Amino acid sequence: MEASPTASLDAVIGLGSNLGDRRGHLCAAAALLCRFGRLVALSSLYETVPVGGPPQPRFVNAAVRLISPLSPRGLLEGLHAVEASRGRVRRERWGPRTLDLDLLWVQGLLLVGPDLIVPHPRLTERAFAMIPLVEVAPDAADPVDGVHYADRVALVDQGGIIQVGAFEPVEPQALQTGGPGTRLASREAC
């Protein structure tokens, strides 16, 4: 994976799952994200209604804040690898999935490419992304106009979103050894 040509990225990753062990997929993903940097904040877990796509089960969503030496492209490749490791198959747009990882925001970065846009192009339309983002990065601001997302979150429809608990990632060692999924003692994962 490609390293960032400049300083480390301060990024927020959105996590979602609506198939199988939804919480388990998110907890495992957080532990696997430690491969790409240092997790510095974990949001609460939120149960949310699906947006777009076919009829499907409710999601569990969260966000993590990650300091990474990777480039945005390298981080995106890592996110796709983690999704695949948890059984993600891309069959239809906005369809049900075991794991969905989105690069929501990177401090001070505006990037528009053919398959990577940062901040996420629908971030300000989706409470299931905005609420956890603001929780882990209350200082996050839109790189275009400088407005803090915390000032915008109240403007997003928050219907169908329920906080359902704390985010407790599996210890990375438990995933590597196949041992029991012990929980982290603090909300700082790596």
Domains of the chain in sequence order? 9-177 (3.30.70.560)
Rounded distance between C-alpha atoms, residue 107 and residue 40, angstroms = 14
Q: What is the pTM of this model?
A: 0.83
- DSSP H helices, 109-181, are 127-136, 149-152, 172-177
pLDDT at 178 over 60: no
Confidence (pLDDT) at 174: 41
Confidence (pLDDT) at 183: 35
What tokens were used for 74? 């390298």
Contact 51, 165 (CB under 8 A): no
Rounded distance between C-alpha atoms, residue 95 and residue 63, angstroms = 20
Backbone phi, then psi, for 165, in 5-degree steps? Answer: 145, -175
Residue 15 is which amino acid? Answer: L
- DSSP H helices, 90-185, are 127-136, 149-152, 172-177
Q: Which residues are catalytic?
A: 88, 97, 100, 102
Rounded distance between C-alpha atoms, residue 109 and residue 118, angstroms = 7
Q: Tens digits of per-residue pLDDT, 137-169?
A: 999 999 999 999 999 999 988 888 999 998 765
